[in-house]
Amino acid sequence: MHFTDLGLRAEILRSISEQGYDTPTPIQAQAIPVVLEGRDLMAAAQTGTGKTAGFTLPILQLLSSRDTGLSLKRFKPRTLILVPTRELAVQVHDSVRTYGKHLPLKATAIFGGVGMLPQIKTLRAGVDVIVATPGRLLDHVSQRTVDLSGIEILVLDEADRMLDMGFINDIRKILALLPKQKQSLLFSATFSDEIRGLATGLLKNPASVEVARRNAAAEAVAQSVYHVDRDRKKELLIQLIDDHGWHQVLVFTRTKHGADALSERLGKAGIKSAALHGNKSQGQRQRALEDFKRLKVNVLVATDIAARGIDIDELPHVVNYELPNVPEDYVHRIGRTGRAGSSGQATSLVCVDEHKLLRDIERLLKKDIEKRVVAGFEPDPRIKAEPIQKPRSARSGQPRTAAPAGQRKPQRQGQGGQPARNGGNPRRGASHHTGARHH
């Protein structure tokens, strides 16, 4: 199939070909016709599948071909795309701009951690598409700086992540503000009962599309495990980067503190690196990402949530400096590489404390990951496993670290296992992004 077979207008096809794409990905081939028909959609697709264009392209088509009838309505936003994180908001907004470049439609991204005023100004000037995180959107609602009564199309992107992050109440509040008559699209990597519940209330006779889970797609990623002692991981990582000449590596740590410490150590070893986590300001995070994309820094050390939605074409390497507590996060992490058909490498440094986590991951992948030991870094068999610092369990309804639905306990974790700073209010976290819930 070719993009020209999908009935998209010339202006949109032009921006697609400017991006160098000619074949729709499976999710695009399935979702675009359904959305164009005006149907509700429930889509199982993870990042890396091309899902963003899967909803952006047909939405642009619908918006540009529909006459709103009321001239007043022109000043009201017509599409709302809700996303869990500001990084994703920026990315989806970029996609809308890129694909809508040749159309007279306006889009904006609304997220916390930055001033309200510029957003208010943009909203006042009139936009067609709002890409927003729930918390900041509600801030605008309460200040009456946004009017959602003209929304024709709603997208919940990464719905499972939004629920994981404790946004369910915010989402429900937002849904209550939208017109009953609208087209709704729900994208989620997993379908827990909670997601299904949300979908049942929201979607009318939805078409359902599903693409291979990232577990299967992650076949494109060459995975290996290096066994090493816990205290020698930094040294081994430096050696691997040097020996293999890795020039663009996304490294995952479990904690913000760990990310900072590792980034500092790499810097001392002469490796250009930056840390990305929720305690960094929006400016610092954007800069770190840009520098990494442009190869001004070669290693980006990130925590799971901070790295979510990072979209770097052909990122060659992902390193799990520490294995995630939740096996599904491993899949999300390695999904940062090997995207949209390019090949990638995922390397995990595993110490004796993490053997059980590794087994759980292999069980989820339904295969063994290749094990390696670097000469000089053989694990010392006398070292005994120590418990991994687990997030403190906390009150329910708090933002949680990602975990497969059904087996999660509400949990939150501040830096170094300290309680989160934002008083556990997900809205505050979303708006101001203290990052206290982020790792």
**Which CB atom, from 238 or from 340, has the smaller least distance to ligand AMP?**
340
51 lines the binding site for ligand AMP (CB under 6 A): yes
48 lines the binding site for ligand AMP (CB under 6 A): yes
User: Which backbone phi and psi does 232 adopt, to 5 degrees?
Assistant: -115, 10
50 lines the binding site for ligand AMP (CB under 6 A): yes
Binding track, positions 107-126, relative to ligand AMP; x by CB under 6 A: --------------------
Q: Site for ligand AMP (CB under 6 A): which residue of 6, 12, 24, 425?
A: 24
311 lines the binding site for ligand AMP (CB under 6 A): yes
Q: Among candidates 217, 213, 209, which has minimal Cα distance to 31?
A: 209
CB of residue 407 to ligand AMP, shortest distance in Å: 25
191 lines the binding site for ligand AMP (CB under 6 A): no
Window 324-353: residues binding ligand AMP (CB under 6 A): 339-340
Tokens of 204: 């009318």
Pairing of strands 129-132, 107-110: parallel
> Of the ranges 24-32, 158-166, 203-211, 258-266, which one interacts with ligand AMP (CB under 6 A)?
24-32
426 lines the binding site for ligand AMP (CB under 6 A): no
CB of residue 219 to ligand AMP, shortest distance in Å: 16
Binding-residue total with ligand AMP (CB under 6 A): 16
Q: Using alpha carbons, list the distances in angstroms from residue 88 to 133, 210, 399.
A: 9, 21, 17
**DSSP assignment, residue 162?**
H
Q: Site for ligand AMP (CB under 6 A): which residue of 29, 32, 42, 52?
A: 52
Q: Using alpha carbons, list the distances in angstroms from residue 108 to 125, 225, 286, 287, 432.
A: 11, 42, 17, 20, 18
| Contact residues for 345 (Cβ-Cβ < 8 A; gap 6+) | 221, 222, 223, 224, 316, 317, 318, 337
| 3 state SS of 354 | helix
| Chain centroid, CA 365 distance in Å | 20
**Which CB atom, from 295 or from 373, has the smaller least distance to ligand AMP?**
295
Q: Site for ligand AMP (CB under 6 A): which residue of 21, 75, 178, 222?
A: 21
H/E segment holding residue 234: helix 233-244
| Contact residues for 176 (Cβ-Cβ < 8 A; gap 6+) | none
49 lines the binding site for ligand AMP (CB under 6 A): yes
Write the single-letter amino acid at 7. G
CB of residue 220 to ligand AMP, shortest distance in Å: 12
CB of residue 206 to ligand AMP, shortest distance in Å: 20
**Which CB atom, from 17 or from 142, has the smaller least distance to ligand AMP?**
17
> Of the ranges 17-25, 177-185, 193-201, 374-382, which one interacts with ligand AMP (CB under 6 A)?
17-25
CB of residue 342 to ligand AMP, shortest distance in Å: 9
CA distance 42 to 410: 26
Binding track, positions 264-303, relative to ligand AMP; x by CB under 6 A: ----------------------------------------
- Strand-by-strand arrangement of the 153-156 sheet: 107-110, 129-132, 79-82, 153-156, 183-188, 41-44, 207-210
Q: CB neighbours (10 Å) of residue 144?
A: 7
Contact 340, 25 (CB under 8 A): yes
> Of the ranges 7-15, 21-29, 205-213, 348-356, which one interacts with ligand AMP (CB under 6 A)?
21-29
CA distance 259 to 170: 30
Locate all alpha helices (DSSP H) within 100-224, ordered by sequence. 116-125, 134-142, 159-164, 168-177, 193-202, 214-217
**Which CB atom, from 47 or from 348, has the smaller least distance to ligand AMP?**
47
25 lines the binding site for ligand AMP (CB under 6 A): yes
CB of residue 3 to ligand AMP, shortest distance in Å: 7
313 lines the binding site for ligand AMP (CB under 6 A): yes
188 lines the binding site for ligand AMP (CB under 6 A): no
Q: Site for ligand AMP (CB under 6 A): which residue of 43, 53, 59, 195?
A: 53
CB of residue 44 to ligand AMP, shortest distance in Å: 13
47 lines the binding site for ligand AMP (CB under 6 A): yes
Q: CB neighbours (10 Å) of residue 259?
A: 29
Residues contributing to the site for ligand AMP (CB under 6 A): 21, 23-25, 28, 47-53, 311, 313, 339-340
